[in-house]
C-alpha cells in the first residue's frame, strides 16, 4: 500500500509491491516515494497490508491469509454459502448450526467441505441443555473430521465438547502433542475464559473414559493441553450479549489468559481475539492495537448476499442505524429473563416479547391473566389461540424432550412459558423466512456494528444490500485497518492529519 503525493496531499493506494515507504516532509508538504529521498528530512514507514495484521501463529494454525473470521449465526444465517465465501476469501466462517436439525448440519458440512476442498471453516458448537443432542452433534463432527469448532454459550465445559477436543489426540515421536480438533471458545466473562484456558475438566475426562468414548492414551494427554486453542473475547454484539465494551474487556481478558496459562506450561499458546461491535476498518485496528490475535465479525455479515436470512431482513439491515437496536427477551432463557440484542425498527418483536415476559412473571398461569388481556395476547401477539399453540408445542416436545409434557401439564406457569417461548422461538424463523404475515413479529438479532458499517459505507456501492459480499466486506475492513495504521503512524511522526486525501474509508 504505497502512499503518493497529489497536489500537496497524501494518498495511500493499495499496492503490495513496496516493502517500505518514504515520506519527505520538506516545506510542510509530504512527498512520498518508495526510494529514500536525499537528505535527512523524511519519514520511513513499513508498507503494510491486510495480511500483516493479527497473530501469525493463528493464521498458520487455521491456514488463513487474514486474521478474521465470521462468527456463527444461528438458524443457518451464517450459511454454508457464507462459510464457503469467507474460506475462499482467505478468512474463515463459522457455520450457524444453532436451531438446525442434525441432518441439515450434516448436509451443510458436506457442502462446505466439497466447496472448500481443504480450506478452513468451523462449525458452531453451542452449549445445549439437552446433553444427548449435544453429544450427537459432537460425534457427527468427529466422524466428518470437522477440523475446528466455535464453542459458545458455555458456562462450564460439557462432556460433548471435551469429547470433540480429545478424540484423536496423540503424542508424536518427538514428544509434540497433536490435536486434530481445534476449539475457538467465545466468551465474555473472566471465569469462563479461565475454564477454556485450563485443561479439559478431569470429571468429564473420567466419565468419557468410563463410557469408552475416549481411549486411555487420549485421556492421559488431557492434563497437558488447553481446552481451547483460541478465545474470542466477545464484547457487546448482536444476539446474546453481556453488553460489555470491547475497550474495557479485551485488554483485561488478554492479560488474564496470559497469566492463567502460565500455570500449565503448555506446548502451545492460547491466543485471544476480539469480536463484538466491529463494523469499520478503524474498529479492526483498535482491536489489533489492543492486542487481539484476530478479529470476529457478525452483524455486518448477516446483511450480506451470502447470509441465510431473508432479502426482506437484509433490506432492513442495510437501513439500520446504531440507535435502531435494543435488548429484548430471548427464547432459550426466557424464564430467567435473559435478553438478546435485536432490531427495533419495522418490527414489534422487542415490545411483544417484553410484554409476554411481564405476563409470565406476574401470573401463575395463562388462565389467571384477565380475560380481556388474554384475548389481546392471542389476537395481537400470538395470532393464534393458546390452546392451539399448546397442541403444537406438545408435538414438538414429544420428539425432542417428552418428559417436559407431563411436567408442564402439572405446572401451568411452565406451560405458559413454553407457549410464550413458541412465539419467541418462531419469531427468529419468521425473520429468516421473510414471512410477510409476520413482518411485525420478526426477531432480528443485530448489534451496533451494523449501524456503524452502514454509516461507514454510505455513498459507496456497498450502501445497497445486494452489493454486500462477505469476502469483500472482510477484505475492506482489513484494507482500511492497514490504511489507518499507516496514516496514524505518519501523523504520529509529524505528517499533517489534514493532508490525507482519498481515504479508502
Ligand atoms: C444474527 C446473529 C445470530 C447469531 N447467532 C450466534 C450463534 O448461533 N452462535 C454464536 O456463537 N454466536 C452467534 N452470534 C454472534 C456472532 O457469532 C458474533 O460473535 C457477533 O455477532 C459479533 O458481534 P457483532 O454482531 O457486534 O459483529 C450471532 C450474531 C448475530 C448477529
For residue 43, the model assigns a pLDDT of 66
- Please, where are the H alpha helices in 167-303? 190-197, 202-210, 216-221, 246-261, 281-289, 299-302
Rounded to the nearest integer, the mean pLDDT of the chain is 92
What are the residue ranges of CATH 3.20.20.70 in the chain?
A: 52-309
> What is the 3-class SS of 405-424, one letter each residue?
HHHHHHCHHHHHHHHHHHHH
Residue among 45, 175, 178, 70 at smallest CA distance from 123: 70
Cβ of 152 closer than 6 Å to ligand 1, yes or no, is yes
HSE, side-chain direction, 13 A CA sphere, residue 493: 17
The CA-based diameter of the chain, rounded to the nearest angstrom, is: 88
Whether residue 344 is predicted with pLDDT greater than 70 in this model: the reply is yes
Between the two ends of the chain, the Cα-to-Cα distance in Å is 14
DSSP state string for 39-89: SS-EEEEE---GGGSS-HHHHHHHT-SSSEEEPP-TTTTS-HHHHHHHHHT
CA-CA distance, 194 to 255, in Å (whole number)? Answer: 11
DSSP state of 294: S
* Phi-psi category of residue 412: left, alpha or beta, with phi > 0 → left and psi -120 to 50 → alpha: alpha
Whether residue 334 is predicted with pLDDT greater than 70 in this model: the reply is yes
Which of 69, 72, 339 gets mutated to test ligand 1 (max ligand atoms within 8 A of its CB)?
A: 72
For residue 122, the model assigns a pLDDT of 98
Dihedral over Cα of 354, 357, 362, 366: its sign: positive
pLDDT tens, position by position, 230-260:
999 999 999 898 899 999 999 999 999 999 9
C-alpha cell at 102: 442434525
Cβ of 234 closer than 6 Å to ligand 1, yes or no, is yes
Residue among 28, 25, 21 at smallest CA distance from 45: 21
User: Which ligand 1 atom is at minimum distance from the Cα of 97?
Assistant: 8
Cβ of 74 closer than 6 Å to ligand 1, yes or no, is yes
Percent of the residues in the chain that have a pLDDT greater than 70, as a whole number: 90
Ligand 1 centroid, distance to 279 Cα (angstroms): 13
Ligand 1 centroid, distance to 476 Cα (angstroms): 20
Ligand 1 centroid, distance to 187 Cα (angstroms): 12
pLDDT tens, position by position, 416-450:
999 999 999 999 999 999 999 999 999 999 999 99
The predicted model gives 404-411 an average pLDDT of 95
Q: What are the two backbone dihedrals, phi and then psi, of residue 271, each rounded to the nearest 5 degrees? A: -90, 160
- Output the CA–CA distances (angstroms, integers) from residue 202 to 159, 223, 224, in the order listed: 10, 8, 12
**Cβ-count burial 39-68 (b if 16+ within 10 Å, e if not):** eeebbebebbbbbbbbbeebbebbebebbb
Whether residue 42 is predicted with pLDDT greater than 80 in this model: the reply is no
Place of cell 408445542: 393
Q: Supply the CATH classification number for the domain 52-309.
A: 3.20.20.70
Ligand 1 centroid, distance to 231 Cα (angstroms): 15
Say if strands 295-297 and 239-240 run parallel, antiparallel, or are unpaired.
unpaired
Cβ of 141 closer than 6 Å to ligand 1, yes or no, is no
Percent of the residues in the chain that have a pLDDT greater than 90, as a whole number: 83
The predicted model gives 189-210 an average pLDDT of 98
CA-CA distance, 292 to 295, in Å (whole number)? Answer: 7
The predicted model gives 73-96 an average pLDDT of 98
The predicted model gives 374-390 an average pLDDT of 97
DSSP state of 192: H
Say how many residues make up the chain.
505
For residue 28, the model assigns a pLDDT of 47
CA-CA distance, 274 to 280, in Å (whole number)? Answer: 14
Which of 68, 69, 70, 73 gets mutated to test ligand 1 (max ligand atoms within 8 A of its CB)?
A: 73
As to burial, measured by CB atoms within 10 angstroms (0-12 exposed, 13-18 middle, 19+ buried), residue 489 is: middle
Residue among 144, 154, 153 at smallest CA distance from 121: 144
Q: In what order do the strands lie in the sheet with 31-33?
A: 31-33, 20-24, 42-46
pLDDT tens, position by position, 1-37:
555 544 445 555 555 666 666 665 554 445 555 566 5
CA-CA distance, 438 to 124, in Å (whole number)? Answer: 28
CA angle 324, 325, 328 (to 5 degrees): 140
Residue closest via CA to ligand 1's atom 10 equals 72
Cβ of 70 closer than 6 Å to ligand 1, yes or no, is no
pLDDT tens, position by position, 255-298:
999 999 999 999 999 999 999 999 999 999 999 999 999 999 99
CA-CA distance, 27 to 389, in Å (whole number)? Answer: 76
Cβ of 277 closer than 6 Å to ligand 1, yes or no, is yes
As to burial, measured by CB atoms within 10 angstroms (0-12 exposed, 13-18 middle, 19+ buried), residue 153 is: middle
Q: pTM for the whole thing?
A: 0.94
Cβ of 297 closer than 6 Å to ligand 1, yes or no, is yes
For residue 7, the model assigns a pLDDT of 47
Q: What are the two backbone dihedrals, phi and then psi, of residue 96, each rounded to the nearest 5 degrees? A: -80, 80
Residue closest via CA to ligand 1's atom 6 equals 73
Amino acid at each position: 500500500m504505497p502512499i503518493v503525493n497529489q497536489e500537496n496531499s497524501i494518498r495511500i493506494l493499495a499496492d503490495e509491491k513496496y516493502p517500505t515507504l518514504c515520506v519527505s516532509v520538506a516545506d510542510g508538504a509530504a512527498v512520498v516515494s518508495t526510494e529514500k529521498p536525499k537528505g535527512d528530512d523524511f519519514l520511513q514507514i513499513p508498507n503494510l497490508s491486510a495480511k500483516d495484521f493479527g497473530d501469525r501463529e493463528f493464521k498458520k494454525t487455521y491456514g488463513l491469509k487474514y486474521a478474521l473470521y465470521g462468527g456463527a449465526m444461528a438458524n443457518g444465517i451464517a450459511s454454508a454459502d457464507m462459510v464457503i465465501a469467507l474460506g475462499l476469501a482467505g478468512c474463515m466462517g463459522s457455520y450457524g448450526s444453532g436451531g438446525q436439525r442434525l441432518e441439515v448440519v450434516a448436509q451443510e458440512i458436506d457442502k462446505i467441505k466439497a466447496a472448500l476442498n481443504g480450506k478452513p471453516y468451523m462449525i458452531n458448537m453451542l452449549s445445549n441443555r439437552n446433553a444427548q443432542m449435544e453429544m450427537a452433534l459432537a460425534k457427527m463432527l468427529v466422524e466428518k473430521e470437522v477440523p475446528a469448532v466455535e464453542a459458545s454459550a458455555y458456562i462450564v465445559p460439557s462432556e460433548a465438547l471435551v469429547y470433540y477436543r480429545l478424540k484423536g489426540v496423540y503424542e508424536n515421536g518427538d514428544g509434540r502433542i497433536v490435536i486434530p480438533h481445534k476449539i475457538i471458545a467465545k466468551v465474555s466473562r473472566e471465569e469462563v475464559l479461565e475454564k477454556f484456558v485450563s485443561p479439559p475438566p478431569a470429571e468429564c475426562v473420567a466419565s468419557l473414559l468410563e463410557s469408552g468414548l475416549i481411549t486411555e492414551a487420549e485421556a492421559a494427554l488431557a492434563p497437558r493441553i488447553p481446552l481451547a486453542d483460541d478465545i474470542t473475547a466477545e464484547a457487546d454484539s448482536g444476539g446474546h450479549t453481556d453488553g460489555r465494551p470491547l475497550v474495557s474487556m479485551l485488554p483485561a481478558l488478554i492479560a488474564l489468559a496470559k497469566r492463567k496459562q502460565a500455570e500449565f506450561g503448555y506446548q502451545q499458546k492460547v491466543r485471544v481475539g476480539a469480536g463484538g461491535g466491529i463494523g469499520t476498518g478503524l474498529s479492526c485496528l483498535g482491536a489489533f492495537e489492543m492486542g487481539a490475535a484476530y478479529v470476529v465479525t457478525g452483524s455486518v455479515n448477516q446483511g450480506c448476499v451470502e447470509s441465510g436470512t431473508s432479502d426482506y431482513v437484509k433490506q432492513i439491515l442495510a437501513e439500520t442505524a446504531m440507535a435502531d437496536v435494543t435488548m429484548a427477551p430471548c427464547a432459550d432463557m426466557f424464564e430467567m429473563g435473559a435478553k438478546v440484542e435485536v432490531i427495533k425498527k419495522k418490527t414489534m418483536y422487542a415490545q411483544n416479547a417484553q410484554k409476554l415476559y411481564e405476563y409470565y412473571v406476574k401470573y401463575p398461569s395463562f388462565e389467571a391473566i384477565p380475560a380481556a388481556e388474554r384475548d389481546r395476547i392471542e389476537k395481537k401477539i400470538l395470532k393464534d389461540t393458546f390452546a392451539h399453540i399448546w397442541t403444537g408445542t406438545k408435538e414438538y416436545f414429544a420428539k425432542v424432550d417428552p418428559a417436559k409434557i407431563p411436567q408442564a401439564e402439572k405446572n401451568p406457569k411452565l406451560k405458559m412459558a413454553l407457549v410464550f417461548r413458541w412465539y419467541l422461538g418462531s419469531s427468529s424463523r419468521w425473520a429468516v423466512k421473510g414471512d410477510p404475515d409476520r413482518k411485525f413479529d420478526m426477531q432480528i438479532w443485530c448489534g451496533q456494528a451494523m449501524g456503524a458499517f452502514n454509516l461507514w459505507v454510505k455513498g459507496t456501492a456497498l450502501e445497497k444490500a445486494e452489493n454486500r459480499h462477505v469476502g469483500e466486506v472482510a477484505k475492506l475492513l482489513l484494507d482500511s485497518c492497514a490504511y489507518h495504521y499507516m496514516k496514524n503512524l505518519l501523523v504520529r511522526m509529524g505528517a499533517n492529519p489534514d493532508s490525507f486525501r482519498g481515504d479508502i474509508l
